[in-house]
Chain A
Amino acid sequence: MLRRNLGVVLSVLFLIGGLATSFTSVTAQEATPAGEPFKVGFVYVSSVGDLGWTYAHDQGRIALEEAFPNIETGYQENVPENPADAERVIRQFAQDGYDLIFTTSFGYMDPTINVAADFPDTTFIHISGFKTAENVGTGFGKIEEPRFVSGQLAGAMTETNQIGYVAAFPIPEVIRGINAFTLGVREVNPEATVRVVWTNTWFNPQQERAAAEALLDSGADVIAQHQDTPGPQQAAEDRGVYGIGYNADMSPLAPNAVLTSAIWNWGPYYIDIAERVMNGTWESEQYWGGWQDGVVDMAPVADFVPEEIRTAIEEEVARFKSGEENIYTIFTGPIADQTGTVRVPEGQAMTDEELLSMDWFVEGVEGEIPS
C-alpha cells in the first residue's frame, strides 16, 4: 500500500516537473554597468525554437540586447492567447518592474490593454493588433512588400507557369500576402497563376509538406508559403523544384530549392521603440512599418538564379528599400479580382482600411476563400 502511494506521489511530482519545463520563462544574463538596467519583456505565443514567427521576434530581442549595454531582456514562451493566462503573464512582467513590454500575438490585444490600465508608467507594444491607449502602441510590418518582389522572382523562374501557395488561414493578413505575391508574379509573367491550398494550421510540418506535395503533383514548380515551418520548402527540395520561404531565411533547410524568403526583421523596430521610450520621446502610435523602415526584408536571392534575373530583382529590392515603391504602389489599380471585375480603378491606390480588411483574391489566384 505504501508502495502504491509512493507511486502516485512520484507520478504527480513528475507531472508537475513536466509542466514546469514546458512553460519556461527566461531572463537573459545581464552584464549591466552601474545604474538601473532598462528592462524589456517579451510575451511569445510559441517557442523561440519554432523557426517561425516567435523565432523571428526572438532574433529581434537579441538584436535589441546587443544594441544597448544597459538593456536587460526577459521573455516567456508558449503563452496561451486566452485572457486569463495572457493577462497573468503580462501583469507579472509589469509587476517585476519591466519598463517596456512587447506582446507579440494578436490574441494578447485585450489582455495588454487591461494590464496597461493598471501600470501607467510602463510602456506596452502590442504586435499585429489595433487597440491603443496612452501607454499602449501597436506595431506590425508590411510583409506584402517582400512578398511582392519574391512573387516577381517566382514568376521569372517558373517553367510550368503554375505556382503553388501553401496558406494557413483565410484571414486578411494571409489573403493580402497572397494577392501581393500574385501581383508580383503576374507583373513579370502574365501567363502564370498562383494556386492556393489552405491548411488551417500555422504550424504542422508534415501537413504543410503534404499540402505542398499536392500542389507539386498538380503541376506547380515553385512553392510559396504563409506557414511557420520549412515543410513546404523541403517538399520542393525533394522534387528538385523551387520555393519561396517565410519568416526567416529558410535556405539552410532546402538549399537547392529556396529562391529567397520574405522575412521579419524586428530588431531595428525594437531598438527604435526602446530608444524612444528610454529618452522619453515615445508617444502612443499605430506603427505599420515597411521595407524602407527595415522591419520586413527579403533573404538574399539564391546564387543559382540566373544573373539577369537576380540583378533585376536586386534593383527592385533597392526601389522598395528607398521607398520609391511600397505597399500602396503594389496595390494601385487597375486591379481585377478573380472574376475579372476591376476592383481598384486605374491610378487609385487602396487605403489602409481596404488593405487591412481584404477578403477577395486578385486575378491570377486559383482557389477559393472559404466563407
Chain B
Amino acid sequence: MLCIAGLKNWSGASANRATEASPLRSDKQASRSAHDSRLTTHDSPCRLSVLPSRRLDMTDILTPAFLISVLAAAVAAGTAILFACLGELITERAGVLNLGIEGIMLVGALSGAGACIWSGSAWVGAVVALAAGASMAAVHALLCVGLRANQVVSGLALTIFGAGLSAFLGRDIVGVPPPSAFRRIDIPVLAEIPVLGRILFQQSALVYISIALVVFLWWYIYRTRAGLRLRAIGERPEAADAMGIDVARLRALYVIAGGALAGLGGAAISLGTNPGWTEGMTAGRGWIAVALVIFAAWNPARAAVGAYLFGGVEAGQFRLQTAGVDISPFFLNMLPYLFTILVLVLSTREATRRLLGAPAALGRAYVREDRG
C-alpha cells in the first residue's frame, strides 16, 4: 500500500498476526493480561460475544442481550437526570418553579469534582455537591419565596449565574482526574439475577441511592403527613396557611432540598459517568430534568421512567447506528422533547391539568395578604 519504505516491519507484523506464536503477538497478549488484571472488576462481557461485522437485520438486533445492554446503559445514563428531576419535582410540588436546575447541576458537578480532588473521596465530593446545590437554591428561595420575585427570571438568572460561576471557579481543575469516583459495584446475590441483575444491580452507588430515593419520595409525598403538607402548600397555600403551616418557611425548605438533589445530579456526572470537571459538562441535562417533571406528572416513580426513557433513547440510538439501522439520530434526539411538548399541550386544559396533577399554585408566589 502506501509509504512502502520502512513499513516492511508492518506487513511482517500483520502477517504474523495470524500465528499465535509471533513474539509480537505473545508480547501483546502478556501486556493485555497485565492490563486486564488491574481492571478485572470491570471486565466487559463484550469481548466474549463479538458480533459479526456484517449488516444486521432487526431480528439480530432485538435480542434479549441487546435490550438488556440498552436498559443497563439507560439506567446508568439516566441517573444524573433523575436526581435533578426529583429535585425539581419536590420544588414544584411546593409551588415553586425553579428553572435554575442546569446552573445548579453545573455548580454541583464542579464542587463535587473539586471536593473529591481536594479530599480524595468521592463521598465527600457528593456531600459537598449536595451543599453547593442547596446554597444555589437558597438564593432562589430568598428571591422567590422571601421577596416574591418572578420565579422565571430568578431561575433563568440562576442557570446563567451557575454556568459562569462554575466556569470561573473551575479553571484550575480542568482535566484534573479525581482520585476516586463512583464506579460499578455489583450487589452480591442480586447482581446474579438474570436480566434485572444486569440492569439494576451492576451499577454505581449513586444509581442505588437514586432508586432508593424514588421509592422514598413516592412514599413521602403520598403516604406521610409531611408529604400532605408539601402537596398542600403547592395546591392551596391559603388553606395550608389557615391550617397553621408556615408556607414561606416550608416552601423555602423544599426549594433548598430540591437544589441539593440537583447538585448531586451534577456530581453524578462529574464523579460518576464522566469523572473530572469540564466546563458546561451537563450539556443541557438540567433543562431535560425540568421538562421531565411535567412528563412525570409530578410523580417520582414516573420521573424515574422518564429519566430512564431518556437514557434509553440515547443509548439505544447509538446501538441502532452501530447495527446499521437507518433511523435518523435527530428524530430520536427529538423524542423526549416531543413527549414533553405533548404533555404540555395536554396540560393547558384545566381538566387534563388536574388529571395530570399539576400543583395548582405552581409558579405563584404566596402573599399572605391575598387571603379573603
Q: Which A residues are within 8 Å of any B CB, using their own CB?
A: 3-4, 6-8, 10-12, 14-15, 17-24, 46-52, 55, 152, 156-157, 159-160, 162, 164, 183, 186-191, 193, 195, 197-201, 203-207, 209-211, 213-221, 229-231, 234, 238-241, 248, 252-253, 255-256, 304-309, 312, 315-316, 319, 325, 329-330, 332, 334, 366-368, 370
Contacts and interface: CB of A to CB of B under 8 A. Distances in A.
Given A205-B269, A210-B311, 7 more contacts: A46-B280, A49-B278, A197-B318, A209-B77, A234-B274, A256-B38, A366-B324
17 contacts: A7-B146, A7-B149, A8-B150, A11-B154, A14-B139, A17-B161, A21-B168, A49-B167, A49-B171, A50-B280, A162-B53, A213-B73, A214-B322, A218-B51, A218-B322, A308-B24, A330-B2
Contact of B149 (A10, A49, A210): A10
A137 to B, nearest CB: 29
Interface string B146-171: 11111001101111111111011011
Contacts of A50: 174, 278-280
A324 to B, nearest CB: 8
B275 interface: yes
Contacts of A307: 27
Given A22-B167, A189-B17, A240 B278 contact: no
Nearest to A13: B157
B160 A306 contact: no
Contacts of A330: 2-3
Contact of A15 (B28, B148, B156, B319): B156
Contacts of B344: none
A206 B322 contact: no
Given A47-B167, A309-B28, A319-B6, A193 B175 contact: no
A8 B24 CA distance: 71
Contacts of B314: 206-207, 210
B13 A312 contact: yes
B10 A10 contact: no
Tell me which of B167, B279, B318 has the highest count of chain A C-beta atoms within 10 A of its own C-beta.
B318
B50 A162 contact: yes
A198 B43 contact: no
Interface string B15-54: 0010000011001100110111011101110110111010
Contacts of B47: 159-160, 219, 221, 241
Per DSSP, chain B at the interface is helix
Contacts of B107: none
A51 B278 contact: yes
Contacts of A49: 167, 170-171, 174, 277-279
Contact of B9 (A214, A253, A305, A312): A312
Nearest to B313: A210
Given A193-B53, A234-B275, A22 B77 contact: no
A309 B17 CA distance: 13
B28 A157 contact: yes
Dominant secondary structure of chain A at its interface with chain B: helix
Given A18-B158, A203-B283, A240 B35 contact: yes
Given A205-B274, A238-B42, A214 B177 contact: no
A238 B269 CA distance: 14
Interface stretch (B119-127, B250-258, B326-334, B356-364): B326-334
B259 interface: no
Contact of A215 (B6, B53, B167, B322): B322
Contacts of B51: 218-219
Contact of B77 (A23, A162, A210, A306): A210
Contacts of A213: 73, 315, 318
A19 B24 CA distance: 57
Contacts of A316: 6-7
Contact of A240 (B2, B43, B311): B43
B351 interface: no
B318 A211 contact: yes
Nearest to B178: A253
B273 A14 contact: no
A248 to B, nearest CB: 7
Nearest to B74: A210
Contacts of A241: 44, 47
B318 A210 contact: yes
Contact of A218 (B153, B170, B280, B323): B323
Given A18-B158, A188-B14, A238-B42, A203 B149 contact: no
Nearest to A23: B164
B205 interface: no
Contacts of B77: 206, 209-210
A360 B28 CA distance: 33
B46 A219 contact: yes
Contacts of B168: 21, 24
Given A18-B161, A162-B50, A207-B314, A218 B319 contact: yes
A21 B177 CA distance: 26
A304 B35 contact: yes
B32 A159 contact: yes
B321 interface: yes
Given A211-B318, A219-B46, A306-B27, A14 B35 contact: no
B285 interface: yes
B302 interface: no
Contacts of B146: 7
A183 B2 contact: yes
A200 B330 CA distance: 8
